[in-house]
Amino acid sequence: MKITQPYTLLVVDPQVDFVSGSLAVPHAGRAMELLTEWGNRHIEEMEALVITSDQHTWDHCSFQANGGLWPPHCIRYTEGAALTPEVLPLVKSVVERKIPYKMVEKATTSERDAYSAFESEVPELLRSATHIVVAGIAGDYCVLQTVRDLLKLGLGSKLYLLEEGIASIDDGSTLRNFIAQEGVHLLR
């Protein structure tokens, strides 16, 4: 798809801890810079912006001390849970232009983890979108599960992944293989 058509931008977990904090993903800062540049270049076509974020409790089940896989990260009300500075210029542009936006929190209770914010429900901004362009962190976990859930919820024909705006813990192959298998469009 060439971005001359309306789209909603979905950014998965663009948070400090995933860029430069306790669970930093390789090249995430650069991916978020490229996402912001791309979004600002295509701001005229943007219908809406949806951003997901981890908002964990201090005793979250995903933390290694509690039997989980990960170091403590994105703890609610800490700097690590904040949006990373690389995406703030894009958010500012969206607000200044009065483009609708929504922040969606996930994994907010100590006993439940969530790689996707859309296991069973999708915000109207996504459901009504002409196209959905997906970017964010981490491609092989939260972006992947978000795309899976959007496919399950019947939004596959609207989905496009912005490759330059995605950072993965692996080399990106897990997400690339999945979207190739599922026929999801890739923006380069």
Per-residue pLDDT of 49-72, as tens digits, reads: 999 999 999 999 999 999 999 999
Question: What's the pLDDT score for residue 1?
Answer: 52
pLDDT (tens digit, 9 = 90+) per residue, 25-54? Answer: 999 999 999 999 999 999 999 999 999 999
- Name the DSSP class of 42: T
Taking Cα atoms as reference points, which of 9, 33, 10, 13 lies closest to residue 21? 13
Average pLDDT over residues 80-96: 98
Query: Given this model, what pLDDT does residue 5 score?
Result: 86
Three-class SS of residue 106?
strand
User: For domain 7-54+82-106+113-187, which CATH number applies: 1.10.3720.10, 3.90.79.10, 3.30.1330.10, 3.40.50.850?
Assistant: 3.40.50.850
Q: What is the mean pLDDT of the chain?
A: 96
User: What pLDDT does residue 121 have?
Assistant: 83
Place of tokens 């915000």: 123
Helices and strands (H and E) in the chain: how many: 6, 6
Compute the distance between CA of residue 89 and CA of residue 151 in angstroms, rounded to an integer.
Answer: 30
Pairing of strands 101-106, 46-54: parallel
Query: Closest Cα to residue 48, out of 95, 105, 1?
Result: 95
Which residues touch 185 (CB under 8 Å, ≥6 apart)?
1, 159, 160, 161
Question: Average pLDDT for residues 101-127, to the nearest whole number?
Answer: 92
**Domain spans, the chain:** 7-54+82-106+113-187
Q: What is the DSSP letter of 75?
A: B
Tokens at 181, concatenated: 């298998």
Mean predicted confidence (pLDDT) in 83-95:
98
Whether 119 has a pLDDT exceeding 90, the answer reads no
- Give the whole-angstrom CA distance, residue 36 versus residue 42: 10
